[in-house]
Amino acid sequence: MAFMPSRILVACAVPAFLIWWAGAIRDEAGPHPFSVGQYNILAKYLGDNREPWFLYPLNLSETERYAIQKNFLTKDNGGNYINNFGNGFGGVLSPEQRRQVQAANAPFAWENREQKLLQTAKGLDVDILSLVELDTYEEFRAALSPEYASAFVKRPRSSSHDGCGIFWRKGRFEPVAEPLKVTFDDWTPGKARSRKDRALLVVALRDRLDGRVLVAASTHLMRNPEDKGKDPQRMLQVAQMMSRISCYVAEVGAAGLVVLGDFNALPDSWTHMLMLKGWQDCPDSEKRMVDAADVMTGERAFPQHGFCTSRTKARTMWIDYVFVSSKTIDVVDGPIVESCPAEPIPDSSHPSDHLPVRVMLRFREDAEVLGHCAVKEPSSELELGGWLRDALGMDSSPRVDS
């Protein structure tokens, strides 16, 4: 007997066969858990203790940090930056302080971090891995093959060498569409042209164990999470992300969505709230996005409870996330992240200023294709005929013979 869908759905720009295809070949044993990971590796070209957001081992006051950051961003009339570590960021740092900073640069050196980063990525042992601030994609691709396949998108600016990479275990997932690569437009009120700096990578993967399609996304939003004034710009990036992802989810007929990345936003920020509540879905077809950490902990004050995803001299924050479509995916376990280090990182055992996050997920038994507008099931052949006419845009008025 031919397979029939359990309910009638109106597809929003989705081929009709994708509504039932995944269910038709689903493993009768039920959903199988799969693991995902998120890790900001601290790019090779950004691993420098002389950057204003590091400066170990100096114990600087908030006033001094603010002055350093402000001076660091100051430009002359020609648009050139005029302050850097060499001049103490405009005289804020003394020669002795600069000497201390230079003497503490060893944990940042790439030769001291590379192998530890590769070992950390492998050690996560996840089915899908998001790596951001990634400027050594080929090295990671080689180290993780042949077990993993991958995709990568670079940030658009020529001076930014890093980007986002997604790696998936080939024995568990296979791609079903070309990756989606997006460059965000950073708009400023009063300016006619946008600035392009950050990017988004999205892949569509079929679960080999049950046939469902999962969309996984990786991103790294605007820097400086401590600066709430940048939250509107991060929200603009999120809005663009949601629009492009929603279309992609519909196009590939995905039954689940996972968004991973360094959002540079706190759990109580508007950026975080927008990721949860801002998706523009049809009624009864919403994704119901949740933060995996909220699901498992029930609270968001992670640093106060000994957890963070980034630890430096300037900040102790939770800014790396795993968002999932709770309508179709359950959080089984996680987020698994080590306790917040007592001292700033990177150090001899932590090769990045971020900690990796690992989460175990599972498709819900009743998971259906996302991105559809659900309608009432017809209760009779007459109602079915009317529903089909409406769906196809046909005139449903009675025909009168002349």
Task: Identify the band that residue 42 occupies on the pLDDT scale cut at 50, 70 and 90.
Answer: very high
Higher-confidence residue of 6 and 105: namely 105
**Per-residue pLDDT for 266 more than 50?**
yes
Judging by DSSP bridges, how do beta strands 256-262 and 213-220 pair with one another? parallel
Q: What is the mean predicted confidence (pLDDT) over 50-57?
A: 96
CA distance 59 to 195: 35
Higher-confidence residue of 8 and 337: namely 337
List the domains of the chain with CATH numbers: 9-43+107-373 (3.60.10.10), 62-103 (no CATH)
Q: Return the percentage of the chain with pLDDT > 90, whole number.
A: 73
Q: Quick check: helix, strand or coil at residue 51?
A: coil
**Per-residue pLDDT for 68 more than 70?**
yes
Q: What is the mean predicted confidence (pLDDT) over 321-348?
A: 94
Q: What is the mean predicted confidence (pLDDT) over 73-94?
A: 96
Burial classification of residue 50, based on how many CB atoms lie within 10 Å of its CB (0-12 exposed, 13-18 middle, 19 or more buried): middle
Cα Rg, the chain, nearest whole Å: 24
pLDDT score at 284: 65
pLDDT score at 17: 31
List the structure tokens of 176. 């079903």
**Per-residue pLDDT for 216 more than 90?**
yes
Task: Identify the band that residue 228 occupies on the pLDDT scale cut at 50, 70 and 90.
Answer: confident
Q: Quick check: helix, strand or coil at residue 126?
A: coil
List the structure tokens of 89. 């960021």
The kind and range of the H/E element at 360 are strand 357-363
Judging by DSSP bridges, how do beta strands 34-40 and 128-134 pair with one another? parallel
End-to-end Cα separation, the chain, in angstroms: 43
Which of 66-70, 264-268, 311-315, 332-336 shows the lowest mean pLDDT across its residues? 332-336
pTM above 0.75, yes or no: yes
Mean of the per-residue pLDDT values of the chain = 86
Q: What is the mean predicted confidence (pLDDT) over 156-165?
A: 96
Q: What is the mean predicted confidence (pLDDT) over 162-187?
A: 97
**Dihedral of the alpha carbons of 228, 229, 230, 233, in degrees to the nearest 10:** 120
Q: How many CA within 13 A on the CB side of residue 249? A: 28
Higher-confidence residue of 390 and 37: namely 37
**Per-residue pLDDT for 202 more than 90?**
yes
Task: Identify the band that residue 187 occupies on the pLDDT scale cut at 50, 70 and 90.
Answer: confident
pLDDT score at 384: 43
